[in-house]
Chains A and B, each alone.
Chain A
């Protein structure tokens, strides 16, 4: 690869990594804000027995 192309690819990757990190942080922060304990269903044995049909 030529030097210019290599630098461009590197810069694009750094920008993408930063973007992914920022986007996940933004999305998780929104999800924490809107979370309601009384609307939450714990994934416990009830779900487990339903999902265990095809398991080992």
Chain B
């Protein structure tokens, strides 16, 4: 292995490879992403134009404008700490398995496996939710046969399938094209926010700033009773919390990022920080443009209703819907990238059934092509399986409610998978196995432990909040999935899954593997 004095003299490319070799992995994926692209992928998955828009009505109905004015910055403070805690782990252990790999190294194979699967379930459910939601927006915009947004129609499934196919094909053919599209997506989100905020600021009716902090409005009902405003406000916090997910994408693409130990952590943290700022501007501007609060809250789509009331006799609401729909497509594209890298990493360590298939890398494109198609395939199966189930059990419930509950587990899965490695890192610090020298270049130094501790407490708090009424159905679905996961682990995985598996015994062997891979890759690309 390279000794310490030689390390400072390594080129950046060599240093990135050397860091990966430390964990026993060869550089198989194409390392071609810059810092902006790494930031852009997480920023695209968070996608303020998706989360803050599609969930706007839930927040507004829960506790009115205060959810935007007070709830959003309140949640942002804690999510910043979660993202900073994840960022320093990415800097210390820069592998695409990320959360799974960190948990496995910090707590053992069992912790790694459960973290990896929770993350994977969360990511697949996110793709399903985003793309199905996007199809629901796109089908009527394309004037396809469509009955109502809440009703499952053939056209929505057709559009959903086309969206998934387009994202899978692009992810298959290379990280270069995907990272360029993610770069475009980041600018697109910023420009989209500027257009919407600008139009509202200059051409719409305004409420006084104090309206943003109105803290007495709620339409939330639990059964036949109205909960206290405090409870309703906490329920409304989920608007922001659901939006802030998926920023682990920067860590999943860390083996494809140059100067990974510095740029990927910045990507994680800044994607949250900038989403926080831009998202706040967006929802504040929309809220201040509300003329009639009860009427807007009672509309089918309160976000759209704000624009229809603010710009009557104009096509601007349709333009806004197009802006949001394309943002959702960008979000789905980045989600497929993130999910496939996670699958690739877990399979590389034999943590999934048929691992050797999902761990293969396309020699031509140097992407985890099988994992890309599996990600898209599983995302397609989620609504398809539910439709099939409801075909045979039509009295089990309505599609929209059940699908919402199923995809709702995405956030719980993702946040638990963020929380486990942070908690295990705190435990390792307590035991002395994690010390000041273990941190990568991006760290919070002496602030790290208190910040990590607050992040873990926040994750515990929101995990409970995610499953309290009116979201108890999501809680039940998650409980079933979690019990099934633990049972599968106990029966088929425990003792067999060993956690991270080095691909070779020495750095020389890893270098030889990389050379062979590059030769094959070069040969495949020749005409």
> Which of B214, B262, B433, B499 is the most central at the interface, judged by chain A CB atoms within 10 Å of its CB?
B433
Classify chain A's interface size: 35 or more
Asked if B316 is at the interface (CB within 8 A of a chain A CB), the reply is no
CA distance in complex: A39, B439 (Å): 10
Residue in chain A with minimal CB distance to B94: A42
1/0 contact trace for B74-112 toward A, CB 8 Å?
101100110010011000110000000000111111110
* Given A13-B74, A17-B276, A42:B22 Cβ within 8 A: yes
Per DSSP, chain A at the interface is: helix
Whether, in the assembled complex, B273 has its beta carbon less than 8 Å from a beta carbon of chain A, the answer is yes
Contact B108 A55 (CB under 8 A): yes
Given A37-B7, A43-B92, decide whether A21 and B273 contact each other with a Cβ distance below 8 A: yes
Pair B105/A47 contact, Cβ less than 8 Å? yes
Question: For this complex, into which size category does the number of interface residues on chain B fall?
Answer: 35 or more
- Whether B433 and A56, one on each chain, are in contact in the complex, defined by CB atoms closer than 8 angstroms, is no
Pick the contact of A37: B15, B92, B433 (CB < 8 A).
Answer: B15
Contact across chains for B438 and A38 when beta carbons are under 8 A apart: no
**Which residues of chain B are near A21, meaning CB under 8 Å?**
80, 273, 276
Bound complex: CA A39 to CA B436 (Å): 10
Residues 1-35 of A, flagged 1 when their CB comes within 8 A of B and 0 if not, give 10110110110011011001101110110111001
Q: What residues of B have a CB within 8 angstroms of the CB of A30 in the complex?
A: 445
B451 shortest CB reach to chain A, Å: 8
Is there an interface contact between B69 and A10, defined as CB atoms closer than 8 Å? yes
Give which listed residue, B215, B273, B451, contacts A6 with CB less than 8 A: B215
- B214–A6 touching, CB < 8 Å: yes
Residue B280 interfacial (CB < 8 Å): yes
| Residues B213 and A10 in contact, CB atoms below 8 Å apart | yes
Contact call B262/A51, Cβ cutoff below 8 A: no
Partner among B74, B106, B445 whose Cβ is within 8 Å of the Cβ of A31:
B445
Q: Which chain A residue has the least Cβ–Cβ distance from B266?
A: A28
Residues of B within 8 A of A52 (CB): 107-108
Residue pair B5, A38 in contact (C-beta under 8 Å)? yes
Other than the given A31-B439, A51-B431, 17 more pairs (CB < 8 A) read A6-B215, A7-B209, A14-B73, A28-B88, A30-B445, A31-B443, A32-B441, A37-B4, A42-B22, A42-B438, A43-B106, A43-B434, A44-B22, A45-B500, A48-B106, A51-B107, A54-B427
Q: Jot down 17 A-B pairs with beta carbons below 8 A, ordered by A.
A: A4-B210, A13-B74, A14-B280, A28-B88, A28-B269, A36-B8, A37-B10, A41-B437, A43-B92, A43-B106, A44-B105, A47-B438, A48-B499, A50-B433, A51-B108, A52-B107, A55-B111
The 9 closest A-B pairs by CB, nearest first: A56-B110, A55-B108, A38-B4, A6-B213, A35-B441, A37-B7, A42-B22, A13-B73, A3-B210
